Amino acid sequence: MTIGFSSRTARSACMLCLAGVLTLMPAAAAATAVRPDPGPPGGAADRTSSLYRSGTQVRPHPGAPRVPDVSALSWVVADAGTGDVLAANDAHRKLPPASTLKTLFALTVLPVLPGGLHHEVSPEDLSGIGPGSSLVGVVEGETYRVSDLWNGVFLNSGNDAVHVLAALTGGWSATAARMQAKARALGARDTHVRSPDGYDAPGQVSSAYDLAVFGRAGLRRPDFARYCAKVDAMFPGRDGRSYGIMNTNRLLTGAGGVAPYPGLIGVKNGYTSNAGNTLIAAARRDGRTLLVTVMNPQEGGGHAVYEEARALLDWGFEADGQVDPVGSLVREGARPRQGPQAAPAAAAAAKPAEDEPGWPETGAILGVAALGAGVTALALRLKLVRDDGS
């Protein structure tokens, strides 16, 4: 890793940081692993909620528009602001997520890697990339800013960029474990992470509900929101040259004969032969942001995931105020209570919620956060050029 100063200093800083990461991250994962999964966000009772029922779930008022007939195996329409789920179909059905899982990767790794850091890619960084993976063109021996690598993740869905970023934060297995812990902390109980880039792996699944949770959490981060909304960017090539890359989310770019959706602000698309086409899409209209997830349409070819998301977004905006929520993306423990039942702030701070990490996990995660802060401080002290958002 280099940060604009001597290679010896860079290597020393890198080794210190990596040692800390390797120590802390597996500790957090191990602490999480010994805790039994408490089940759905609101406890066992949530298994009887409408979001766990098969088929389409919606609570329309008289005269409300009809939910469109789509072929996806699973989908969700939610209000990104309130977290209310307006309609869903088999929301908790466990399915392969493909590259939409990169949203969880970003939620896990973005907080600990300053975008302005520079890193020289080693052969080990790129080892283990699955055959047929989508690539942005990362080359060993070349030096990249972390922000450039994130462009490669969000725009080109580059598994090579994911591998490099994972190597910088503890390695492939440790990153998968941290992603698993992050999913549980967000109340996403259907997701099982095996490959952080979303590449098909035995046992790797998520759900339309969980993907909506990840999309909503990501949009609340300015850096995530900025990356996922980019249409195009320049990516470093060999010998100081660069080349253009374009977002593969056709609902955002309008490429390939798919009309761009008005007001679309991201989030992430994906495809593998096992998962089919998957998509998390968010759009803003008249001050309201809707979030739609679509998993594996069964009809209409490769563009169906975009057209079905379009139909669901149109319905969601048209149905504003004409349906009652069928569930929520907000964890039960995160909902503020009203009146005398509200716990005192000191008491609430002293005891972790059931679906939050316990003190061992929290200590490890705080250690990682402190490490990230230390890297940032070092970078600033050495006059690291801040990420310019490109």
- Mean pLDDT for 79-90 is 97
99 is catalytic: yes
Instruction: Check 74, 147, 157, 206 and give the catalytic one.
Output: 157
Q: How confident is the model at residue 140 (pLDDT cuts 50, 70, 90)?
A: very high
Structure-token pair, residue 182: 């992050």
For residue 209, is pLDDT > 60?
Answer: yes
Instruction: Check 102, 182, 230, 268 and give the catalytic one.
Output: 102
242 is catalytic: no
Which of 102, 117, 142, 321 has the alpha carbon at shortest distance from 224?
A: 102
CA-to-CA dists, residue 23 to 26, 50, 61, 114, 188, angstroms? 6, 42, 54, 20, 26
Taking only the tens place, the pLDDT of each residue in 333-383 is: 665 444 433 333 222 322 333 333 333 333 443 344 444 444 444 443 333
Exposed / middle / buried, residue 354 (Cβ in 10 Å: 0-12, 13-18, 19+): middle
Taking only the tens place, the pLDDT of each residue in 36-72 is: 344 444 443 455 579 999 999 999 999 999 999 999 9
173 is catalytic: no
Instruction: Check 74, 99, 133, 328 and give the catalytic one.
Output: 99
